C-alpha cells in the first residue's frame, strides 16, 4: 500500500442486528442477542480495508455516550480513528431478520442536526488528517443540516493538499456534483438506481451505463465514474476507456455493506497503484463476498481473493 487512506463519516451509527421468530404488529417481539457493530459509510469502508489486509484511518464525528461506544467498537476491530466533536448524540440503527422467511427489516435513524459552525470544524479535522497523495473517501449519508455542496467544498480542501477524493453519495449531494462539476474530484461512485435518476432515463445495458458514466467524466464531474449494476457487477469509465466487471452468481445472505465493501476493495487496490481495471475487479469481488455474509458483516479476505480469480473484466 503506497498511499494512506482516510475515510470520512459525518453521520456514523452503532448498528444493532438481531432476529425474531416472527415479525408482526402488536405482540412483543422476542429477539436474539444482537450483533453490535460500528457503522456508517466511511467507517464501513475503513473496516473493509482492514478486513482485506490494509489499513485506513476513520475520521468520525462523534457525540455522547453512543459516540464513545462507537470508538470502543472501532478500537476492538483495530481501526485507527481520528474523532472530532459532532453535534448531539451519535445515532443508532437496527436491523431485524424474520426467522420464518429470512426477510430483513432495517430501521435507520436520521442522526443529530448539524449547525452552521459544525461544518468548518469537520473540514479543519480533514485538513489536519490529510497529507500529500492521501486517498480521502467520503461515503455514507449526510447528516441533517449539512448542505448539499459539502462534497464539492471538501473536494477543494483535498485538492489543496495534493490528495485525491473518492465520493460515494446519493440524493441532493450527487445531483449537485453533477450540476456543478469540480475538477478536483478523483472518483465518483453511485448505485444503478441513483445513476438512472441522475441520467433521467433507464440504463438497461452495460453499454448504456458506460456511455452515461463517460458523459459525466467528459463533463468534468470526476476523473473516474463508477456505476454499480447490482448482481450484474459494476461499470467504470475514464475519459478514454470503460470497463465492466462481474462475478459469477453467489448466494445472497444480506446486501448490507456491499457498496462499502466495493469502495474498500477498490480504494485499497488504488492505494497499491494497481491498474484501474484491477481496482474495479477488487471492488466487485469484495462486494460479492459481502453479500454472502450475515447482517452487518463485510467482505471476507479469503472469499474476496477466491472471487477475484473468477471475476470477468470486459472493455466496453
Active site residues: 260
What single string gives the DSSP state of each residue in 156-220? Answer: HHHHHTT-EEEEE--HHHHHHHHHS--TTEEEEEE-HHHHHHHHTS---SHHHHHHHHHHHHHHT
Return phi, psi of residue 123, to 5°.
-65, -35
- Cα diameter, the chain: 59
The candidate with the shortest Cα–Cα distance to 154, out of 307, 7, 3, is 7
> Is residue 191 a contact partner of residue 259, using CB atoms and an 8 Å limit?
yes
Taking phi first (over 0 means left), then psi (-120 to 50 degrees means alpha), and beta for anything else, what does residue 281 get? alpha
Question: Where in 3-155 does DSSP place strands (E)?
Answer: 5-9, 13-20, 35-39, 57-62, 81-85, 91-98, 104-108, 135-139
Calculate the alpha carbon distances from 200 to 172, 181, 188 in Å: 14, 18, 18
SS3 label, residue 316: coil
Residue in the structure block whose three cell numbers are 453535534: 87
The alpha carbon of residue 291 and the mean position of all alpha carbons in its chain are separated, in whole angstroms, by: 14
Cα-based angle 9, 163, 52 (whole degrees, multiple of 5): 55
Question: How many of the other CB atoms lie within 10 Å of CB of 85?
Answer: 12
HSE-CB at 221 with a 13 A cutoff on CA atoms is 26
Amino acid at each position: 500500500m503506497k498511499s494512506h487512506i482516510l475515510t470520512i463519516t459525518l453521520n456514523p451509527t452503532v448498528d444493532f442486528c438481531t432476529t425474531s421468530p416472527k415479525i408482526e404488529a402488536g405482540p412483543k417481539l422476542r429477539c436474539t442477542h444482537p450483533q453490535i457493530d460500528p457503522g456508517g459509510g466511511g467507517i464501513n469502508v475503513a473496516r473493509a480495508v482492514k478486513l482485506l489486509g490494509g489499513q485506513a484511518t476513520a475520521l468520525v464525528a462523534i457525540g455522547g455516550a453512543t459516540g464513545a461506544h462507537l470508538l470502543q467498537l472501532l478500537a476492538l476491530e483495530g481501526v485507527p480513528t481520528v474523532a472530532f466533536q459532532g453535534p448531539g448524540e451519535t445515532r443508532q440503527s437496527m436491523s431485524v431478520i424474520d426467522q420464518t422467511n429470512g426477510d430483513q427489516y432495517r430501521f435507520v435513524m436520521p442522526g443529530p442536526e448539524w449547525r452552521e459552525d459544525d461544518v468548518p470544524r469537520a473540514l479543519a479535522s480533514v485538513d489536519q488528517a490529510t497529507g500529500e497523495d492521501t486517498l480521502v473517501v467520503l461515503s455514507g449519508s449526510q447528516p441533517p443540516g449539512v448542505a448539499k455542496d459539502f462534497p464539492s467544498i471538501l473536494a477543494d480542501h483535498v485538492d489543496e493538499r495534493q490528495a485525491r477524493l473518492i465520493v460515494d453519495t446519493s440524493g441532493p449531494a450527487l445531483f449537485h456534483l453533477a450540476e456543478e462539476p469540480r475538477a478536483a474530484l478523483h472518483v465518483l461512485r453511485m448505485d444503478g438506481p441513483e445513476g438512472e435518476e441522475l441520467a433521467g432515463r433507464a440504463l438497461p445495458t452495460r453499454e448504456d451505463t458506460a456511455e452515461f458514466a463517460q458523459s459525466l467524466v467528459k463533463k468534468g464531474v470526476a476523473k473516474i465514474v463508477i456505476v454499480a449494476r447490482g448482481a450484474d457487477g459494476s461499470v467504470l469509465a475514464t475519459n478514454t476507456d470503460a470497463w465492466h466487471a462481474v462475478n459469477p452468481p453467489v448466494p445472497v445472505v444480506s446486501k448490507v455493506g456491499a457498496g462499502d465493501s466495493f469502495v474498500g476493495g477498490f480504494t485499497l487496490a488504488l492505494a497499491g497503484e494497481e491498474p484501474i481495471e484491477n481496482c474495479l475487479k477488487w471492488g466487485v469481488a469484495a462486494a460479492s463476498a459481502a453479500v454472502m455474509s450475515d447482517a452487518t458483516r463485510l467482505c471476507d479476505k479469503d472469499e474476496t481473493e477466491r472471487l477475484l480469480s473468477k471475476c470477468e473484466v470486459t472493455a466496453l
